[in-house]
A and B are shown apart, each in its own frame.
Chain A
Amino acid sequence: DAKTTQPPSMDCAEGRAANLPCNHSTISGNEYVYWYRQIHSQGPQYIIHGLKNNETNEMASLIITEDRKSSTLILPHATLRDTAVYYCIVRARQNFVFGPGTRLSVLP
């Protein structure tokens, strides 16, 4: 599976959009981009995934560049409860590999 690169930490003001970037320059054509988050010490929680089209659900939007070498997770109106570590994972059919992720702090 392709490797991903994420910034170690980010801050976002409450009520503003949080844009979390992820680079995956070695992604293969059959690999999906997944996003999970981990709040405090809980188990990771699924957010969204996509292949090449942009995706949106009730939690977030996923924007994937046309060349698929990077993506951005967007939380449109961040709340304090969105403070968590966010993991970007690229995989096809192998098991998930969770890197260190991005620690997002939503500030009041």
Chain B
Amino acid sequence: NAGVTQTPKFRILKIGQSMTLQCTQDMNHNYMYWYRQDPGMGLKLIYYSVGAGITDKGEVPNGYNVSRSTTEDFPLRLELAAPSQTSVYFCASSYSTWAGGANGYTFGSGTRLTVV
């Protein structure tokens, strides 16, 4: 199994441009998440989804949008990119959000985004 796949791996955007970060998982997980990680910092939750058609805001949702039309895909949309959105973005999925679920989260390898 591929697990969680993120594309692209790297991207440079100009201020004001838009882009979509792609995330897909093949483990039939209901729950999916988007985190961002600034240099030297921990991960902050942007948005999450508990199933197809259901999304909710995390800790830092401003400047981002998400959709979840299928179980497998959870794209993250950046509108009007700003330098403050320069970060590494990680997508993750899990079978259950309950702590007793098997092995917690599976993360993708990340998208490194620079806004100039």
Q: Which residues of A contact B (CB under 8 A)?
A: 30-32, 34, 36, 41-46, 49, 87, 91-101
Contacts and interface: CB of A to CB of B under 8 A. Distances in A.
A46 B105 contact: yes
Contacts of A91: 99
Contacts of A43: 4, 90, 92, 107-110
Contact of A95 (B45, B88, B112): B45
B111 to A, nearest CB: 11
B12 interface: no
Contacts of A99: 42
Contacts of B4: 43
A10 B100 CA distance: 29
A101 B103 CA distance: 19
B103 to A, nearest CB: 5
Interface of B: 4, 33, 35, 40-45, 48, 58-59, 88, 90, 92, 97-100, 103-110, 112
A39 B90 CA distance: 14
Contacts of B59: 97
B33 A41 contact: no
CB-CB nearest 6 A-B residue pairs: A43-B107, A32-B99, A98-B43, A98-B42, A99-B42, A46-B104
A92 B97 CA distance: 8
A73 B58 CA distance: 28
B107 A93 contact: no
Question: Most chain-B CB neighbours within 10 Å: which of A36, A43, A91, A92?
Answer: A43
